[in-house]
Every structure is written in structure tokens, then in C-alpha cells.
Amino acid sequence: MVITRTPFRISFFGGGTDYPVWFERYGGAVLNTAINKYCYITTRYLPPFWECKYRLRYTTPEETKEIQQIKHPSIRECLLHLNFNKGIEMQHNTDIPGMSGLGSSSAFTVGFLNSLHSLLGEKISKEKLAQEAIHVEQRRIGENVGSQDQTIAAFGGFRKIDFLNSGKIKVEQVAVNESRKKELEKNLLLFFIGLTRNASLIAGEQIKNIPQKTVELRAMRKIVDDAHTILIDEKHSLDSFGELLHESWKIKKTLSSKISNPIIDDIYEAALSAGALGGKVLGAGGGGFMLFYVPREYQAKVRSKLSGLLEVPFEFEELGSKVIYQLPESKWGYSPSKNF
């Protein structure tokens, strides 16, 4: 039996430049962090008491005899990708709801792949784990997803990630001292606004619009470098980071008509009127979580203004996807043709 723990993420800047259709031509970059909210996946070889070969427990339970019968696309394609022909039981638990902008789908794929490699007795590097998850989601499933979510879920940490037009990914830990990083963390407020959505559908329109959004995406790429400079150069006030969030959000809203809506706009304006310097909808947009940079002297006012929303406390996370429990499998006295 293997249990993996994989973090969700907050993306600050550069989202949209991590789509291959963009960065393979122009290059891209994001600034993001893993957070201490997690996806837990328990996987083991299935004992011989069930007629099925794959016993899966997530939002919709499944029991099937063939991999191709599995409806969950990530589970099915991860198994096919690894040519995993032994019967398994899998259970998924999560700290947050799916389809809410914190990279939950990619965290699942990364965590599941990590668990399967561990079951097979294989150690996999963070780089290879990220690359396999990207391959499964973009190539095997055909999702409209970028490449940052899988990367930060695998690596963890506070990262600047460069997507080179060669197709390679460069992952850099942001060299900000711990006290400054903690100060930034304390100036960020995270709210769940509901309205969960299918990120792939929203991203589809954004990807379609990319040829007409070259100026905007270049501006978002530049903001990544500006924000990185603010973090590592202590001559800059961290409040400038919040102001850049506002500038980036104004650009992001122009990339697709589905990113924002009147409810989101009202929440955003309410937060700014109470003292937030900037913010954004996380992920593809359309709902889920909103992040705000709020100097501490204004946080009580912002919380009061947004009292109808659920605030979610969080901290930055350093470890990435990790096997947190592994127990040798029990031996069963039956023919391998049954399940294994």
C-alpha cells in the first residue's frame, strides 16, 4: 500500500504563457507556489475477493475489469501510460473541491503517477514526474491545460518556472529570504467564492484567442520578471507585488470572455475598496478561489467586506508530491491471472 500527498498551488503571474501553443514559439514563464492544501491518494494491489480488477474510489466510485472501461480519464491514461496491468484499489481524498483553480486536476495526476511508480518499486525524479503528468494530461487525455500545474505539484516550493521554446522546462526556487517570504504569505488572503467550473472548457477559448493576444501575453510574461525582482531585491516594498497582481488581473480578464463575470467583478471591487492592493481569480477563471494582497492594517476591513465568502488559511509548501506511507504488499496464494 502506498499513500502520496501532493500539494495544490497558487499561481501569481504568467498564467497563459505556459500553454505549449504559446511557449513553444515565444517562451513563457510563471511565478507560483505550492501551498499546504493537499490531494491524498491511497493505492494498493487489489486483493482477490472482488470480481473487478480496478476498484476506484473518488467522487464517482468505479469498479471495472478492463482499463479501457475506466471513466476517469486521468486514472485510465496513467495506467495505460505505465502499461500497468495489475489490479489495483485506489482512494482519493482532498482538502479542497475540484475545479476551483488551485491545480487540483494536475495534483491528482501527479499524485497518482507517483503512487503507481512506488507500487512498482520505482523511484521517480520530480522532473520526470512533472514531465509524465504533462504528457498524460496534454497528449493522452487532450486537456486544454498548461504546464505549470503539474510542475509545481511535483516540485513544490516557491518557484519561477521558465518554459523554453525548445520545450524544456527550467524550475528555479525563488531566492527570497524566509522572513520576507513569511511577510508576503501574511499579506495574502484566499477566499472560496464557489462557482466551480471546468477549467479545460474556459482555457479552450483562451487558447483559441492566443494569436490575437500576443501583446497581452508578452506583458504578462514581463510581469513575472518584475515580480521576481521585487521579491529578491529588498529595496522594493512588497506592496509593489500586490500592485502587480492588479495590473496582471486587468490583462488576464482580456484574454477570454469566460475568465471573469459580474459576481467576480463585484467581489474584486469590494476587496479593493476595503484596502486590497490587487488580486485575481486563480486558475483558468470563472469561479473557484480568489486571492488578494492586503496589507495587514486593512485585512480586518477586507474580511468584513467579504464576510459572505469562505476564507481559507494557507501557508507556502516546500516538498511537492511525496510518498508519505508505504507498506509492503500482502502475499496472496492464487494465480496471477486472477488480478495480478
CA angle 307, 300, 271 (to 5 degrees): 60
**pLDDT (0 to 100) of residue 338:** 47
Evaluate if residue 67 carries a pLDDT over 80: yes
Alpha-carbon torsion, ordered 232, 235, 236, 239, to 10 deg? 110
- Mean local confidence (pLDDT), 189-213: 76
Q: How confident is the model at residue 335 (pLDDT cuts 50, 70, 90)?
A: very low
Give the pLDDT score at 311.
98
Distance between CA atoms of residues 334 and 316, nearest Å? 47
User: In terms of Cα–Cα distance, which of 2, 1, 8, 3 is closest to 319?
Assistant: 8
Query: Residue 194 — pLDDT band, cuts 50, 70, 90?
Result: confident
Between 97 and 135, residue with greater pLDDT: 135
pLDDT of residue 210: 83
pLDDT over 90 percentage in the chain: 83
> What's the fold here for domain 2-325?
Ribosomal Protein S5; domain 2 (3.30.230)
Contacts 24+ apart (CB under 8 A), 224-231: 224/13, 224/14, 224/17, 224/29, 224/30, 224/31, 224/160, 225/29, 227/12, 227/13, 227/31, 228/31, 228/160, 228/174, 231/174, 231/176, 231/180, 231/181, 231/184
pLDDT at 221: 96
What average pLDDT does the chain have? 92
pLDDT (mean) for 46-69: 94
Residue 100 has pLDDT above 90, yes or no: no
Q: What is the pLDDT of residue 334?
A: 41
Bridge partners (DSSP) listed for residue 172: 160
Q: Would you call 88 helix, strand, or coil by DSSP?
A: strand
**What are the residues whose beta carbons fall under 8 Å from the beta carbon of 33, sequence distance 6 or more?**
9, 10, 12, 152, 157, 158, 159, 316, 317
Query: Averaged over 188-209, what is the pLDDT?
Result: 75
Chain-centroid distance of CA 32 in Å reads 10
Q: What is the DSSP letter of 296?
A: G
Q: Give the lowest-confidence range in 99-103, 111-115, 116-120, 241-245.
A: 99-103
The pLDDT assigned to 256 comes to 80
Domain ranges of the chain: 2-325
**Which pLDDT belongs to residue 191?**
97
Closest residue by Cα to residue 264 from 314, 192, 183, 173: 192
Q: 149-182, pLDDT tens digit by residue?
A: 999 999 999 999 999 999 899 999 999 999 999 9
Q: What is the pLDDT of residue 66?
A: 96
Residue 99 CB contacts under 8 Å (≥ 6 apart), including other chains: 105, 196, 197, 198, 199, 288
Of the candidate ranges 129-143, 203-217, 309-323, the one whose mean pLDDT is the lowest:
203-217
Position 274 confidence tier, pLDDT thresholds 50, 70, 90: very high
**Of residues 36 and 212, more confidently modeled:** 36
Question: What is the reported pTM?
Answer: 0.93
